[in-house]
Structure 1
């Protein structure tokens, strides 16, 4: 697995997180989440060569995150669309968007099970992308994925600007890919599980006079080592010249169909 992850990282350095992974055609089972490329940016940076750009889709389709004293099931998919490739100077560039829906927080605003659907007691959490989406590899060859988030808290009394974390002080995830979790699906989709048990969670901001109450409810701020995340994620990638055929006419070099790596057969084998 070490040599494979190093090849992935090398490709990601040239074009951040381009994961054009392929599975044998015999694997025809569809992924359990919808992979939608419609969120891919329809404009590339000025001067970028469409032949060298991909749209990468990451769908976090299950799992949970512990934020202080709240364990939040990931009941709604989070879809990250990332256009990636070299700019006209050859430097890595990316355009990232995240789409998510609010998720009901168990226990609601008071943390009492069964009250989350009572009027005024509903509390919802909605992840918002801050930045820093990327790959890294440690000295042992383990692959990590970085992602900075803040969490919007939605409650009738908290206003519209109540968040856990801020754009300058977000929740900084540095997940490790569980190599035993890799699963191929139809249409060149791969599933894997991302884990992190070392991140800290900042306190709330923008919650007005209810800020201290929100922090008390959530046990925030929460130091590193007291929070855990396990996120089932599905990955897919398409070349921009396939997504937008008109861009083929603007391509200045040979269209990149696949990156020069594949997962080993031991990973693709079903258990």
Structure 2
């Protein structure tokens, strides 16, 4: 997926270079009990034709903790969610482009299954698993206070629902405006704050941060079962649609970045 946004490149490129240098120079060692994920840059996106590798970064971001509350679903994050993307500048037009290569995660078992009652999902047919998927472009710093705008949908997996059931769609996604806070949600949610980036490694460059959003809405489910017959059941079980102020994303993230020249791309 690609997104192009006009920028003042001279300031942006200089700011990126200076910011990277400052972050690396101030890098602090990880705490003794901190387990930093392993990173691979093998799946970094190919650069557009004619791109200057000196102006491009590949980032592998791993969400390793936090939680995602969507309506009646309140799920802790225990297995990593990995996003691989590249961003860079056109040296002539000074436009920034973001290319998302992938979002990968293991299906997460939703407690309570179809009935939403803890302990009632001991049979596989009663179990529900949820898996985040991309549902649109990724935007970096689209507006003040927002570090990343992420459009996603949640694949809802159960033998009765088929393989196309999702919460949100490409046309009507869950849109997260992730930042470090404090947030400004409508009630009943109250403002929350994440954690600004801290360098934990220099080879590769890795930063840890916590991004949050609790002001987003969650749409209804779609395509659940033949002809969408089970949409209503999924919505009932999940408390959907869920208005803004009733949902929360807290993502503790480790992000590793390398310039494309360091990756051997010319």
How many residues get paired? Answer: 231
Q: Does 1:114 align with 2:119?
A: yes
Cross-structure match for 1:162: 165
Change in 2 beyond 3 A, CA 1:26/1:221: closer
Q: Which has the higher strand share?
A: 2
Unaligned runs of 5+ in 2: 1-10, 181-192
Q: Does 1:133 align with 2:139?
A: yes
Matched residue SS, 1:37 = coil
Aligned-residue Cα RMSD (Å) equals 2.5
Cross-structure match for 1:7: none
Instruction: After TM superposition, give the deviation of residue 154 of structure 1 in Å.
Output: 0.5
- TM-score, scaled to structure 2: 0.78
Change in 2 beyond 3 A, CA 1:210/1:145: same
Change in 2 beyond 3 A, CA 1:230/1:179: closer
Q: Which has the higher helix share?
A: 1
Deviations 1:32-89 (A, max 9, x none): 3232222212x21111111211101211111111111110111221111111112475
Unaligned runs of 5+ in 1: 1-9, 251-271
- TM-score, scaled to structure 1: 0.77
Distance in 2 between residues matched to 1:241 and 1:83, nearest whole Å:
13
Higher normalized contact order (CA 8 Å, seq sep 6+, divided by chain length): 1
Matched residue SS, 1:213 = helix
Change in 2 beyond 3 A, CA 1:95/1:13: farther
Change in 2 beyond 3 A, CA 1:232/1:13: farther
Matched residue SS, 1:22 = helix
Distance in 1 between residues matched to 2:196 and 2:124, nearest whole Å:
40
Instruction: After TM superposition, give the deviation of residue 113 of structure 1 in Å.
Output: 0.5
